[in-house]
Structure formats: structure tokens, C-alpha cells
Amino acid sequence: MLKLYLDNCCYSRPFDDLKQEKINLEASAIENILKKHIDKKLKIYKSMAIDFEISKIKYENKRRQVEDLYDAMDLLEIEYSEEIKNRFIQLKKYNIKDMDALHLAFAESEKVDYFITTDKLLINASKRADLKIKVINPIEFIMEVI
């Protein structure tokens, strides 16, 4: 069964401005991915890094919507470890932002198959890093994998 880690932006995407075509397509792809987790056709993992980022969403209404979605998903927890800390430090050497490096370290520690993100800068940065997982946009994941 495929194992996924969704970046924080994925949980927020369904609550963004869906009038923009790309955002609407990404939101649909993410909803499809979440449904497959609910149907037990793939596994999605979470971490304290996602919990933290969701808690920092600026707009209260959006934060509550994202929290409700996130909490309803019954995601599998990845526990923080020394291995994650060490990998985080290594990934920062590739000029990957701190929170992105932390997310990637969590995902790698669980040996997920795909790290899903809507962040184009992170996708590009991940190509420079020596990653053990594939970083991909949700639309591309649906087209290539599902």
C-alpha cells in the first residue's frame, strides 16, 4: 500500500480561492487523495510539524476548517526522533527552508513513497537534495500514480 506525507499546504488547499483553475484542480486532487486514505487504499502520515503549521494559520475561520479536515482524517503519526533531527540538519544544507526540511525529514523517516506539496519552490529544491522519497504536486500524483 502506498504511503504518503502531505505538506501543510495540501490541507489548506480545499479552503483557498477555488475560482483559480490551478488551485481548483489541486484541491480536487487532494480531495481524491484524502478519499483514498479514508477508503484504506493508501496511508497518509502526519507529524508534529504539520500540527504546528496548522496552528499558525493566520485567519481563524480557515484555521478551524483546516483543523476540522485534518482531525477527521485519522492520519498515522510519525514520532519525532534523533534520526529526524539529524536528517533535518542535512537537508538544510540544500537551501531548503526549515519547515520544509523538517517535513521531508519526517517523511523520509517513515519511508513514505511520496511527499505531496503544492509548493513549486519546494519541489524544485527537492530535486537538488539527495532524497529517498519523491516530492510531487497533487495533480501530477493523481495523473502518474492513481
**Mean pLDDT value across the chain:** 97
CATH number, residue 33: 3.40.50.1010
HEC letters along the chain: CCEEEECHHHHHHHHCCCCCHHHHHHHHHHHHHHHHHHCCCCEEEECHHHHHHHHCCCCHHHHHHHHHHHHHCCCEECCCCHHHHHHHHHHHCCCCCHHHHHHHHHHHHCCCCEEECCCHHHHHHHHHCCCCCEEECHHHHHHHCC
Instruction: Give residue 3's pLDDT.
Output: 98
The model's pLDDT over 7-17, given as tens digits with 9 standing for 90+, comes to 999 999 999 99
Instruction: Give residue 68's pLDDT.
Output: 97
Q: Averaged over 96-114, what is the pLDDT?
A: 97
Instruction: Give residue 92's pLDDT.
Output: 94
| Count of domains for the chain | 1
Instruction: Give residue 146's pLDDT.
Output: 83
The model's pLDDT over 21-71, given as tens digits with 9 standing for 90+, comes to 999 999 999 999 999 999 999 999 999 999 999 999 999 999 999 999 999
Q: Averaged over 99-125, what is the pLDDT?
A: 97
Q: What pTM was estimated for this model as a whole? A: 0.96
**Enclosing domain of residue 79:** 3-144
